[in-house]
Amino acid sequence: MVNKFTDADEIAKFSSLYEDWWKNDGAFGMLHKLTPVRMLFIRQALSNFLVRDTELSKTFAGLRILDVGCGGGLLTEPLKRLGADVTGLDASAEAIKAAKDHAAVVGLDIDYRIGDLSTIPNELDQFDVVIASEVIEHVPDPQSFIEEIHKLINPGGKLIITTLNRSLMSLLGAKIFAEYFLKIVPVGTHNWRKFIKPSELNDMLTSARFKPEIVKGISYSISEDEFQLATNPVVNYAVSAFKC
Going from N- to C-terminal start, the domains of the chain cover: 8-243
The pLDDT of residue 65 is 96
Q: Going along the chain, which residue ranges are E strands?
A: 64-68, 85-90, 111-114, 127-133, 153-164, 210-221, 226-230, 236-243
Q: HSE on the CB side for 22, CA within 13 Å?
A: 16
pLDDT at 182 over 60: no
In three-state secondary structure terms, 74 is: coil
pTM score, whole prediction:
0.88
DSSP E strand boundaries for 45-133: 64-68, 85-90, 111-114, 127-133
- 175 vs 156, which has greater pLDDT? 156
β-strands 210-221, 236-243 pairing: antiparallel
Question: Is there a contact between 140 and 194 (Cβ–Cβ < 8 Å)?
Answer: no
Identify the pLDDT of residue 211.
Answer: 97
Class of residue 114 by CB neighbours under 10 A (exposed 0-12, middle 13-18, buried 19+): middle
The three-state secondary structure class of 92 is coil
pLDDT digits (tens, 9 = 90+) for 80-132: 999 999 999 999 999 999 999 999 999 999 999 999 988 776 555 689 999 99
pLDDT at 186: 59
Determine the pLDDT at residue 188: 62
**Mean pLDDT for all residues in the chain:** 86
Task: Identify the burial level of 159 via C-beta atoms within 10 angstroms of its C-beta, where 0-12 means exposed, 13-18 middle and 19 or more buried.
Answer: buried
Exposure of 79 in the CB half-sphere (CA atoms within 13 A): 28
CATH number listed for the domain at residues 8-243: 3.40.50.150
Confidence of residue 237 (pLDDT cuts 50, 70, 90): very high
Comparing 214 with 4, which gets the higher pLDDT? 214
Minimum mean pLDDT among 77-81, 110-114, 156-160, 178-182: which range? 178-182
Most confident of 78-82, 164-168, 170-174: 78-82
Confidence of residue 2 (pLDDT cuts 50, 70, 90): very low
Does 209 have pLDDT greater than 90? Answer: yes
Span of 10-14, 28-32, 153-157 with lowest mean pLDDT:
10-14
pLDDT at 55 over 60: no
What φ, ψ does residue 38 adopt, rounded to 5°?
-65, -45
Inform me whether the pLDDT recorded for 69 exceeds 80: yes
